[in-house]
Structure formats: C-alpha cells, structure tokens
C-alpha cells in the first residue's frame, strides 16, 4: 500500500521520530465506504482504536456515534460535540462508580455479559438500555477477542430475561467476531445465535430491538483483504437468512477499518548489528517497539508493511526489534521482512497502516521513552 500525497509531504519535513501521522481524508473515506457497505447499520466508532480529537471531530460531523470503553473515552466523545445518546459504554467490565459517572453524563446504552455486571447496571443506571454480549470463536481473525468477553447464548437468554425485572431495559445482543477478520462469512454463525436469542426472549415475553455486530472489519497490511462490499453483502445475507423480514436495529463498531490505513509511523533506525560473525540475519533496532505503540506485533499477529526509502538496494531478511531494555521487545523474527543491506543507523523507515491501536498502546514512560505522538492532517 502507498501513502497519500498529504502523508508523503508531511514525512518529508523530517520531524523527530517516532510519530504517527494520520490523513483525515482517508478516515472520512473509510467511513463512507463502511456506510455504503452496511447502510442499515448505525456506526459506532471504537474510540480505543485512535482517540485523537481531530479523528473524533471528523467522524462526529459525518454522523458517527461512538463505542467507548471508559469514562475518559466518554468524555472524549462528548468533546467532539455528539450527544450522549450517540454513545455506547461497550466494555463489559466496568466499575459501578464508572457506570454511575457515565449515567450522570447522559449515557443510556450499556453492555454486559454476566449476572454481576447486570446487578451493577440495575443499581447505577436505572432505566438504561442494556445489551448482552455472547461468545464467539474468533476463528479466522488475526487478533481474536474470544474467551475474555461474552457468555454462552443460554446464559445470555437468562440474563436478558432477568434484566426485564431489574429496572433496566433488555435492548439487544452483541458479539465481536475478532479484530482483523478476513472472512466476510464469519458473522453468519453469530447472527444465527443472536436470532435464536431474539426468538427465545420473545417467547418469554421480552422484546429485544437491537443487534450490535461489533467490529472486525479489517484494514490492509501486507496481504490483500476482501472489499467492504463483500462484507456488506455477507452481513446482509446473514441477517436475511436468520431474521427474515424482522431485522432489528443494527449497530457496528469499526475501529481498525476506520483509521488503520490512514496512518503511517515514521521511525529511525537506531542500530544494525549481528550476534556473531556467522549470523545470517541482521538485527535492526528501531526507535519504536512493542512498548512504544506496536503491541499488536505480539506473536507477530499484526504484520505492518515496513518500507525503506532506499531504492534499488539489495535486500536481505532481518529481525526487527524496539529500543527498550526488555527482551520481549522484538517485533518480527519469524516473519519474512527484508530490508536494504546498506541500511545504517540514522536511516528512516515507514511503518504503514498504523493508524489504529498504536498511540493507545504506547506506554507513558517505559525506559523513559515518551508516548507516541500523533499528527492529524
């Protein structure tokens, strides 16, 4: 993938590294593509992907709502000018005091996936709409979100029926198929489970009205991905197949798809070395690593395109690592990354498609390194 002219011009100014630059025009284009693909869905941007005020302002003006994971994120969303009724508190793990704080700010849409969380909501958010998250396998996702979040459908049924007698409104069901999901058909099984839940609750006298289909829409890294249109078609087919002509209100929670390909990290090579005279691979140490914002390189799960400005140079395989005094700060050792053989300390590299989940993963001061700066243009 190539950078936009705006990003290329920005990188040419040679600011101190590392930093990420995000093209807001690409963010806006990604929003429109998603809206075209799933026109029936309300878009709730996942603030955790990149909460830069300029991004939130851009999306708010386009009509986006916001999925938040904390009171701080709720406040960020409110500062963009959206009303509280366009904010979902989508984290299933919340302090009761944070539920109360969100409620005091006007938020009335909350996620849960357990009896204990439902009790907190009933006490701190009376009359609020609540939706229960169900488990998914995450199979086919580069960054699965299974096991920690959600409950099985049988438990969700019990919880949603119980919610009706606890002073909150059982509003719907949610799921997340896993981040960077490259199979457009992955939503089908979860939609089927959700439709079963809707019918079961209706039989018990509880009317559900909303299906939150989560995120999972990918951005392009080193390999091609399906078009947004193919995701939209698969989702539309799944809804028709399992809900028929009674499709409920639909919500989606994009994060990576919205901002991933809009950002590029500018990084400087700090050191190029070998571990022995016979070592066949060079170690290339950058001024950014796992603790500087590249946490998703864990297990080499997310593989960002990395580009050198040196043209025509012979390349060879390298091991890429960050600058900190932690042996876990190795980015890529198994993946096939190749960089110019004449690469030296002081050279710059571009780590592309890094608009999502980089600034928010950046440590505050591990080893004294400053958090990753973000420029929006």
Active site (catalytic) residues? 325
Three-class secondary structure of residue 298 per DSSP: helix
| In contact, 348 and 306? CB cutoff 8 Å | no
Q: Tell me whether residue 223 is exposed, middle or buried, using C-beta atoms within 10 angstroms of its C-beta: 0 to 12, 13 to 18, 19 or more.
A: exposed
Three-class secondary structure of residue 112 per DSSP: strand
Neighbours of 351 (CB within 10 A): 24
Q: What's 364's DSSP letter? A: S
Residue indicated by tokens 């029926």: 161
Q: Distance between CA atoms of 239 and 191, rounded to whole angstroms?
A: 7
Neighbours of 15 (CB within 10 A): 12
Q: Distance between CA atoms of 102 and 118, rounded to whole angstroms?
A: 15
Q: What's 277's DSSP letter? A: T
CA distances to 127, 281, 314, 340, 345 from 287, in Å = 50, 19, 23, 18, 10
Three-class secondary structure of residue 124 per DSSP: helix
Q: What's 151's DSSP letter? A: B
Q: What is the Cβ-side half-sphere exposure of residue 247, based on CA atoms within 13 angstroms?
A: 16
CA-nearest of 360, 361, 297 to 55 is 360
């Amino acid at each position: 993938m190539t950078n936009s002219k705006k990003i290329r011009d920005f990188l040419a100014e040679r600011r101190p590294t590392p930093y990420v630059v995000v093209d807001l025009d690409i963010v806006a284009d990604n929003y429109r593509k998603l809206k075209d693909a799933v026109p029936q869905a309300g878009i709730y941007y996942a603030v955790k992907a990149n909460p830069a005020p300029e991004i939130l302002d851009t999306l708010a003006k386009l009509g986006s709502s916001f999925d938040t994971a904390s009171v701080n994120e709720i406040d960020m969303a409110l500062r963009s000018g959206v009303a509280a009724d366009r904010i979902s508190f989508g984290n299933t793990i919340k302090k009761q005091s944070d539920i109360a704080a969100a409620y005091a700010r006007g938020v009335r849409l909350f996620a849960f996936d357990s009896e204990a969380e439902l009790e907190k909501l009933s006490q701190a958010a009376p009359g609020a709409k609540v939706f229960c998250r169900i488990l998914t396998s995450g199979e086919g996702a580069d960054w699965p979100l299974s096991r920690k979040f959600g409950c099985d459908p049988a438990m969700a049924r019990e919880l949603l029926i119980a919610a009706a007698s606890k002073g909150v409104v059982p509003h719907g069901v949610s799921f997340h198929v896993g981040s960077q999901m490259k199979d457009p058909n992955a939503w089908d099984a979860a939609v089927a489970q959700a439709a079963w839940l809707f019918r079961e609750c209706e039989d018990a006298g509880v009317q559900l009205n909303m299906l939150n289909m989560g995120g999972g829409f990918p951005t392009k890294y080193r390999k091609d991905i399906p078009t947004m249109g193919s995701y939209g078609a698969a989702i539309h087919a799944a809804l028709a197949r399992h809900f028929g002509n009674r499709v409920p209100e639909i919500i989606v929670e994009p994060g990576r798809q919205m901002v991933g390909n809009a950002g590029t990290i500018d990084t400087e090579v700090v050191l190029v070395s070998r571990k022995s005279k016979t070592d066949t691979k060079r170690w290339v140490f950058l001024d950014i690593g796992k603790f500087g914002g590249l946490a998703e390189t864990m297990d080499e799960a997310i593989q960002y395109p990395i580009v050198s400005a040196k043209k025509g140079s012979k390349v060879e395989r390298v091991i890429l690592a960050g600058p900190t005094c932690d042996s876990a700060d190795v980015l890529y050792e198994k993946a096939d990354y190749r960089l110019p053989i004449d690469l030296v300390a002081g050279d710059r590299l571009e780590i592309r498609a890094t608009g999502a989940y980089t600034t928010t993963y950046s440590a505050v001061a591990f080893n004294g390194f400053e958090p990753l700066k973000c420029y929006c243009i």
